[in-house]
Structure 1
Amino acid sequence: MATTTDSVARLSLAALLLLGSLWFCTAPGDPHSLCYNFTIDPQPSPGEPWCVVQGQVDGNVFLSYDCGGAKIQSTSPLGEEVKTTHTWETQTETLRDIGDLLKWRLSDVIPEKHMARGPLTLQARMTCQWEEDGHISGSWQFGFNGQMWLRFDSENEHWTVVHSGGRRMKEKWENDRAVTDYLKRVSMRDCRAWLQDFMVRWEEMLKSTASPTTGPPAVQPRATAIDLTTRIVLGVLASFFIMGIIVAWSLYKKRY
Structure 2
Amino acid sequence: MAKNAAAVHRLSTKALCFSVLLICLICLKSPTDAASLCYSFTVGRSGSGLWSHKVQGQLDEKTFITCDSNNCCAIGGLGEILKTIQSWETQVDTLKDGINCVIDQALLMKQETDTTREPFTVQVKQCCSHEADGLSYASCDLHLNGHKVGYLHPSTGKWTEVDPGSMRIKEMLEKNKDLTEFLSRTSQGDCKAWLKEMIKSLLEEKLEPTGLVKDTADIFTSASPTIAPDVDQSSSTTMELNAFVLLFTLALLVLLKYLQ
Q: TM-score, normalised by structure 2?
A: 0.65
Deviation sequence 1:41-92 (CA, Å, 0-9, x none): 134897x8711111111111111111x113x212121110122334222222
Q: CA deviation at 1:128?
A: 1.6
Which amino acid is the alignment partner of residue 58 of structure 1? D
> Residues of 2 paired with 1:44 and 1:62: CA distance?
31
2-side partners of 1:128 and 1:62: how far apart? 16
- For the residues of structure 2 that align with 1:81 and 1:24, how far apart are their CA atoms? 31
Distance 1:213 1:25 in 2: 13
1:39 shift after superposition: 1.5
Secondary structure at 1:41's aligned position in 2? strand
Equivalent residues of 2:35, 2:59 under 8 A apart: yes
Aligned residue in 1 for 2:159: 159
Of 34, 37, 60 in structure 1, the residue corresponding to residue 37 of structure 2 is 34
Q: Is the contact between residue 30 and residue 213 of structure 1 (CA under 8 Å) also seen in structure 2? A: no
Confirm or deny: 8 A CA contact 1:37 1:54 kept in the other structure.
yes
Partner in structure 2 of residue 190 of structure 1: 190
- Measure, in 2, the Cα distance between the counterparts of 1:85 and 1:143: 31
Post-superposition offset of 1:132? 3.6
Q: Which has the higher contact order (CA 8 A, sep 6+)?
A: 1
Identity of aligned residues (%): 29
Distance 1:90 1:134 in 2: 26
Q: Map of 1:198-213 to 2, 5 A cutoff? A: 198-203=198-203, 205=206, 208-209=217-218, 210-213=221-224
Matched, 1:112 2:113: yes
> Partners of 2:28 and 2:99 in 1: how far apart?
37
| Matches of 2:146 and 2:16, distance apart in 1 | 43
TM-aligned CA deviation for residue 155 of structure 1: 1.7
Q: Which stretch shifts more, 30-39 or 135-144?
A: 135-144
Once superposed, what is the RMSD of the aligned Cα atoms?
4.1
Q: Which residue of 2 aligns with 1:139?
A: 139
Q: Offset of 1:121 from its aligned partner?
A: 0.7
Matches within 5 A, 1:14-93: 20-24=22-26, 27=29, 30-43=33-46, 50-66=52-68, 68-70=69-71, 72-93=72-93
CA distance in 2, matches of 1:119, 1:84: 37
Asked if 1 retains the 8 angstrom alpha-carbon contact of 2:46 and 2:118, the reply is: no
Unmatched tracts of structure 2, length 5 or more: 1-13, 207-214, 226-247
Residues in 2 aligned to 1:26 and 1:148: alpha-carbon distance in whole angstroms: 37
2:105·2:173 contact (CA, 8 Å) conserved in 1? no
- Mapped partners of 2:163, 2:184: distance in 1: 22
Partner Cα separation in structure 2 for residue 19 and residue 166 of structure 1: 50
1:143-164 Cα distance to aligned partner (Å, 9 max, x none): 0222222121212334332245
- Which runs of structure 2 are paired with 1:121-136 in the superposition (5 Å)? 121-132=121-132, 134-136=134-136
Shift of residue 93, structure 1, vs aligned partner: 1.9
> Is the Cα–Cα contact under 8 Å of residues 45 and 51 in structure 2 kept in the other structure?
no
SS of corresponding position for 2:152 = strand
Deviation at 1:98, TM superposition (A): 1.0
In the other structure, the counterpart of 1:224 is: none
Is the Cα contact below 8 Å between 2:53 and 2:99 reproduced in 1?
yes
Shift of 1:177: 4.1
Contact 2:98–2:182 under 8 Å retained in 1: no
